[in-house]
Amino acid sequence: MDFVRRLFIPVLLLAALAVPAVASATAPSVVTLPVDDSIVFAGADSPCGFDITFTSTGTVKVTTFFDNEGNPVRQTIHGSLTHTFFSAWHTLVSKGPAPVHIDLASGQMVDTGMEYRFHLPGDGVIFGQAGRLTLASDGSELSFVGMSVADTDALCAALAP
């Protein structure tokens, strides 16, 4: 599952860290951010015998909420990213609309819903994650309840020549 975590955590942390907290008003602030992230799995880092790339692209809306003193206390991230796995020969695509909630005091992040789901006709979901994932401020997993499928053999077969 380390391969799965290497895909999810950078995207989540990028979205959380890309938004500076603006404490100029008590009303929530809303920022729309483009996401264009790519992770290359090559050589020994690849679960396949060849290089593969995972991408996340799209736009997210980050809403920062403030307390009565104007201090940022929490953020929500909403949007739908397009995720792809591709090799030199094939591409698999998935949409991921999972919202993220961040407690800015503790840094704890909660992702709920379907993060991504790659499926093949006749085989069903070969790589996916949906449910409730709670991460500590350092990106380590605190808890996960839901579905996590990581059939790397099927993934590699789908991306092979």
Q: Decide if pLDDT at 141 tops 50.
A: yes
Q: What is the 3-state secondary structure (H, E, C) of 109-124?
A: EEEEEEEEEEEECCCE
Backbone angles phi, psi at 31, to 5 degrees: -125, 135
> In this predicted model, what pLDDT tens digit does every residue of 59-94 receive, in sequence order?
999 999 999 899 999 999 999 999 999 999 999 999
Element (H, E) at 154: helix 152-159
Q: Decide if pLDDT at 5 tops 70.
A: no
Distance CA 65, CA 83 (A): 28
Backbone angles phi, psi at 122, to 5 degrees: 85, -20
DSSP code, position 108: -
Q: Decide if pLDDT at 96 tops 80.
A: yes
Residue 153 is encoded by which pair of tokens?
């053999």
- In the prediction, which pLDDT does 153 show? 95
- In the prediction, which pLDDT does 98 show? 84
- In the prediction, which pLDDT does 9 show? 52
- Stated pTM of the model: 0.78
> In this predicted model, what pLDDT tens digit does every residue of 122-136 receive, in sequence order?
889 999 999 999 999
Residue 8 is encoded by which pair of tokens?
């999810």
